A and B are shown apart, each in its own frame.
Chain A
Amino acid sequence: QSALTQPRSVSGSPGQSVTISCTGTSSDVGGYNYVSWYQQHPGKAPKLMIYDVSKRPSGVPDRFSGSKSGNTASLTISGLQAEDEADYYCCSYAGSYSYVVFGGGTKLTVL
């Protein structure tokens, strides 16, 4: 069982928006503004999409945005495109004992 809880799957049609949630506790997501998100296509390595809750690395489209409220972080993808279909993982700093925790992953299907 993963430390952070994500929905197993979400779906949306091209052009729509989808939001993926990531629920933790006050010891990880809720305690720090250190949440990152990764996109992973089948058979490929993960790719950093969001860090520090809402910052986008250069090259990541601004269709991808992150936010946090309490113990739940969210990744929103607007203007869905076919190439967005992938698995998405959240990750949080969890303090100086557990260090880093991942969510179980969410499969995004573009209908």
Chain B
Amino acid sequence: EVQLVESGGGLVQPGRSLRLSCTASGFTFGDYAMSWVRQAPGKGLEWVGFIRSKAYGGTTEYAASVKGRFTISRDDSKSIAYLQMNSLKTEDTAVYYCTRDGDPIVVVVAATQRENYYYYYMDVWGKGTTVTVSS
């Protein structure tokens, strides 16, 4: 069974850090890009960022609201994706979902003819872990 299980959520004070983990099973983790999506209490979904598979560079992209504060990484040997959250703000309070990304969108950079890969749909979701930022 394909499964994602998040862990590491909890109560943290503003300005502090927290690291979330996402343990995957039931599929070849290293073949897929992975994303994090969050949902503030009573609100809609917000994309946080994704990490490409090693085959596509293993690089990351982030939403403007978290860029410079959050870092996504992966350990393919353990089938785990991480979300390191620094300088947390009260508005980061949310349920954080780990997701497996679908097929990549291939974008060719005209100047270099280099291919970049982007992801926008998530075909597997974890149950989520709650992060509360409060003093």
Contacts and interface: CB of A to CB of B under 8 A. Distances in A.
B61 interface: yes
B120 A34 contact: yes
Range for the number of chain B residues in contact with chain A: 20 to 34
A46 interface: yes
B47 A100 contact: yes
Contacts of A44: 127
Given A102-B45, A105-B45, A48 B122 contact: yes
B11 interface: no
Interface of A: 2, 32, 34, 36, 38, 40, 44-48, 51-52, 57, 89, 91-93, 96, 98-105
B51 to A, nearest CB: 12
Contacts of B126: 45
A40 B102 CA distance: 18
B44 A45 contact: no
B97 A91 contact: no
Interface of B: 35, 37, 44-47, 50, 61, 63-64, 97, 102, 105, 107, 116, 118-123, 125-128
18 contacts: A34-B105, A34-B121, A36-B121, A40-B45, A44-B127, A46-B122, A57-B123, A89-B44, A89-B45, A91-B45, A93-B118, A93-B120, A96-B107, A100-B47, A100-B50, A100-B63, A100-B120, A103-B44
Contacts of A40: 45
B110 to A, nearest CB: 12
Instruction: Give 8 nearest A-B pairs by CB, closest first.
Output: A36-B121, A93-B120, A100-B47, A45-B125, A51-B121, A105-B44, A102-B45, A104-B44
A47 B120 contact: no
Given A45-B126, A99-B118, A38 B105 contact: no
